[in-house]
Every structure is written in structure tokens, then in C-alpha cells.
Amino acid sequence: QVQLVESGGGSVQAGGSLRLSCAASGYTASSNCMGWFRQAPGKEREGVAAISTGGGVPYYADSVKGRFTISQDNAKNTVYLQMNSLKPEDTAMYYCGRRAYCRLGAWRRAAEYNYWGQGTQVTVSS
């Protein structure tokens, strides 16, 4: 049973930082694609970043480039999202998901992810 568990969300002021974690368990694939998505009320789920766990190649949405960093700790089966210079428009529920592989452009397609965590709320006040 694949499980993804997010943590690290919270409330911060604009300009602040948070680090989200996604702990994965229940599978043994050595290489796959782990993605971070976010969803604000009334909006579609939006791809934020992804990482190809085999080679560590990162992918980012334009809206977060230079502010967010995705990384992984393979020994802990955990993927992180370091979020700096947070803005009020970053406020959303953040989810991690897993799909078989990352590919430029394709990583952003939420429908192609097989597994999702329960989400962690990020709130940024101005």
C-alpha cells in the first residue's frame, strides 16, 4: 500500500519561509517522479515542482522558480519543498503525488499521478 504523508505547512507572513516534507512508503521502485501541487479554494490543482528521484532532476512552475527548491533524501524516502520569499498568492493546500516518471511539461498533469497524500495547508498573510 503506497502512502504519502505531507507535513510542514503552517501560517507565515509574506517574505517568510516554510519547508514541506513528503514521506513515502509502500513501494520499492528505485526511480519515479514525485511532485508537489497546490490547490486554492475554487481553483484547479496546480503543479508547483517535481523531481525525478532516480537522477534528481528538478522541474518548477514559472511562478515559483527562484523561490522554491525541491529536493530528496533517498535514504529516508522523503521529498522536500523549501519555500522562500512566500507571497499571499502561495496560500493553498499543498499535496505531494507520485507518478512513474517525470517529463518536461507532463509532470504538471495532476491526472497522471497515481498516488496522493492528504495535503498540508500553507497560509501566507500580507
> Which helix (H) or strand (E) element contains residue 73?
strand 68-73
List C-alpha distances in Å: 43 to 2, 31, 60, 113: 27, 31, 19, 18
Pairing mode of beta strands 10-13, 120-125? parallel
Q: Residue 1: what pLDDT?
A: 86
- The answer on pLDDT for 33 being more than 70 is yes
> What are the tens digits of pLDDT across the range 62-113?
999 999 999 999 889 999 999 999 999 999 999 999 998 898 889 999 999 9
Q: How many CB atoms lie within 10 A of CB 114?
A: 11
pLDDT at residue number 71 = 96
Give the pLDDT of residue 53: 87
Cell of 60: 518548477
Cα 3 to chain center, whole Å?
A: 15
Mean pLDDT of 26-38: 84
| Long-range contacts of the stretch 4-8 (C-beta < 8 A, 24+) | 4/96, 4/97, 4/98, 4/115, 4/116, 4/117, 5/117, 5/118, 6/94, 6/95, 6/96, 6/117, 6/118, 6/119, 6/120, 7/120, 8/120
